[in-house]
Structure 1
Amino acid sequence: MAARTGNLNLIKQLVDAETNILNATSPQGNTALHISTGFRHKDFVEQIMNCHPNLVHKTNLNGETSFHVAAKAGQFDVILLFKATVEDIARVRDKHGDTPLHCAVRNNHKLVIWLLVKGDHEALRLVNNAGESPLVVAIDLGLTPIADSIIFANPSTLDHKGNNGQTPLHRALLSCLAVIVYKVLVEKPELIF
């Protein structure tokens, strides 16, 4: 309840009364940190992180950390908190191999994407278990501005070949994204030969 409402006084009382309460999980394996992140309670998230820093890396039944939840929800402020305390935040994987970058791209959270890759543009090359890079996810969803920005940030993302051997150029052609096809031809014309 405290995690959903973001009630800081209640969380302080619970922590004082029982130190293990924040380690409890929902039936889906979500901790209070997962839940409060999903409900956009930045102050509550910060309080939990101060009391139980070990929860930052705890995963739910889908293998998702609170980073994944924050990226899905577009929680820029919460990602800032996590990024200040966690190295390689953009590289943490869930059970599907998705990183918080994949989650942010799928949910069209451009500012979160750029916060996650700030200083780590190579993270844009990471692929999930399905062989999808964040660029391929953006192309498949028709998120042209995000795909264009990923290519601009790291043109080597165009060299990726997925599990089926398709490159981002193939995916852009199949998705009829002329802007991305043009961008690929400008950045890496050798990919068409």
Structure 2
Amino acid sequence: MDRRLLDAAVSDHAAEIMHLASHDPSLLLGTTPQGNTCLHIASIHGHEGFCKDALALSPTLLAAVNSDGETPLLTAVTSGHVSLASVLLRYCRDQQLSEAILKQDKDGFNALHQAIRSGRRELALELIEAEPALSKAVNKYDESPMFLAVMRNYADVFEKLLKDPDSAHGGANGYNALHAAVRNGNSGGHTE
């Protein structure tokens, strides 16, 4: 990756990206040794304006995957940039890039796993609404988004996942979402 582009992505200098791309549009597709594009770098830092400008010039950046198996959307979620993750999710939907939304990293976590793990309940609900198939994935620890939602006591996320009969329900060590509910003392909504 061109050092000027890397610096622009880290510093949120959107004007610099326009200048660089006007001279050499392919410059935007360069990567770091870890496979990060300028969109990954800007997503790590939460630079929404830079990301929008980069996508206006090269929408294909949405589908780029780094050496950890992350798309820019997954990078934004993992980095905790909820607003940016929502923007990237909309771009993916507009470009009909389901595979970019569904992408799992090297450990099998997808954007929904990461949203739940990091306590981003509203983002988790938005992700489920946008791409219900996210609920089918399990990570390398055999944890499904449903299992993680129950472990965090996210009843609203669990209920939304439960509406999809194809949602995975498995968890680590042979447990499942029901085991997690019992372990957490969830009553399952029953009153006495």
Q: TM-score range by the shorter chain?
A: 0.7 to 0.9
**What percentage of residue pairs aligned between the two structures are identical?**
25
Deviation of residue 90 (structure 1)? 4.1
1:53-132 matched pairs, under 5 angstroms? 53-72=59-78, 73=80, 74=82, 75=84, 76-88=86-98, 90-132=101-143
Provide the residue aligned with 1:171 in structure 2.
Answer: 180
Please give the alpha-carbon distance, in whole angstroms, between the structure 2 residues aligned to 1:121 and 1:9: 37
Contact kept? 2:117, 2:148, Cα under 8 Å = yes
Which residue of 25, 29, 36 corresponds with 1:23?
29
Number of aligned positions between the proteins: 177
Provide the residue aligned with 1:37 in structure 2.
Answer: 43
Q: Within the alignment, does 1:150 sit opposite 2:161 as a pair?
A: no
Please give the alpha-carbon distance, in whole angstroms, between the structure 2 residues aligned to 1:170 and 1:98: 21
One-letter amino acid matched to 2:87:
D
Deviation of residue 122 (structure 1)? 4.6
Provide the residue aligned with 1:46 in structure 2.
Answer: 52
Provide the residue aligned with 1:160 in structure 2.
Answer: 169
User: Which secondary structure state, in structure 2, belongs to the residue aligned with residue 20 of structure 1?
Assistant: helix
Please give the alpha-carbon distance, in whole angstroms, between the structure 2 residues aligned to 1:49 and 1:55: 7
Deviation of residue 45 (structure 1)? 0.9
| Cα RMSD for the two superposed structures | 2.4
One-letter amino acid matched to 1:81:
Y
- What are structure 1's unaligned runs of at least 5 residues? 187-193
One-letter amino acid matched to 2:180:
R
Which deviations, in whole Å up to 9, do the C-alpha atoms of 1:72-113 show, x marking residues without a partner? 222333433333324435422222222111111111112211
Q: Which moved more, 1:127-136 or 1:163-172?
A: 163-172
- What are structure 2's unaligned runs of at least 5 residues? 1-6
Deviation of residue 157 (structure 1)? 7.8
